[in-house]
Amino acid sequence: MTLSLPAVAKLNLFLHITGRRDDGYHNLQTLFQLLDVGDELQFSPRADNQLNLQCNDLSLQGPDNLIIKAGRLLQQQTGCQLGCDIVLDKKLPMGGGLGGGSSDAATTLLALNALWQLKLSQEQLAALALQLGADVPLFVRGFSAFAEGVGEKLVPVQLPQKTYLVVTPPCHVSTAEIFQHPDLIRNSAPLSLDTLFSSPWRNDCQPLVEQLQPIVALTLQWLVEYAPCRMTGTGASVFAEFPDAASAQHALTHLPASCRGFIAKGVNQSPVMAALADTEFNA
């Protein structure tokens, strides 16, 4: 029996950094918007404890992939002796600030919890997810959210389901480098849920990334000709909101040749949840 599930992308509609913690991590506030596009994964359970990953990008097949780490973590925490053959159809750009790797890991936790009949609660899975990365709990929870802390304190929000053009320029941004950089903005005033939607939004990482990666600044200069835009996460992907798919498509047809782009709609609930609910494993 093979279980096929999506691993959706996210946007940071804003990203404000409100301080640095004693442990070196940063306190932040962000609004996570889930999208209706992402990677695709297939899970075929095994009777032994082997975890095997195949991917259309061979560079992602090693043991350091978060998918394998998620499976190993579940085995270690539960004592489960089952395994799985996993196939990843990688569609999202890597290192783009879209959460692809984190989403892959979260989908793996959810899928193996069902396939192996571990019956862990969402709370338990989210706690494990945080060990894999700050963004992974978002995708385990499966809803668009206002986030605080390092991004793990999540409050569900209902956002208008808007159309976005997402563009990834040809560069790689190191998240660690950005958060360690002395020029990063770290003193934004915290917002409350009451003032969230009446306050101006920005990405505190964007000025620094534009300085370090001029191609990101050039891509934003191109995109702003069509709609207001900003960066997601620590980049390098940028996005703009459009009134409809036709206007987004018009901009996409003029995409610079060096960039990748796609159109997506915002969703408030991850399709992973509906897909899992329809499987016999959760019957």
| Residues tagged active-site | 10, 135
- Tell me if 93 is assigned to a ligand binding site: yes
Mapped onto helix, strand or coil, the DSSP state of residue 72 is: helix
- Tell me if 19 is assigned to a ligand binding site: no
- Tell me if 169 is assigned to a ligand binding site: no
- Tell me if 200 is assigned to a ligand binding site: no
- Tell me if 100 is assigned to a ligand binding site: yes
- Tell me if 98 is assigned to a ligand binding site: yes
- State the pairing for strand pair 51-55/83-89: parallel
Work out whether the CA dihedral 214, 219, 225, 227 comes out positive or negative.
negative
- Tell me if 96 is assigned to a ligand binding site: yes
Cβ pair 221, 249 in contact under 8 A: no
Cβ pair 166, 91 in contact under 8 A: no
Task: Report the alpha-carbon distance of residue 227 to residue 8 in Å, rounded.
Answer: 24
- Tell me if 95 is assigned to a ligand binding site: yes
Cβ pair 260, 93 in contact under 8 A: yes
- Tell me if 103 is assigned to a ligand binding site: yes
- State both tokens at 236: 């390098």
Annotated binding site for ATP: 93-103
Annotated binding site: 93-103
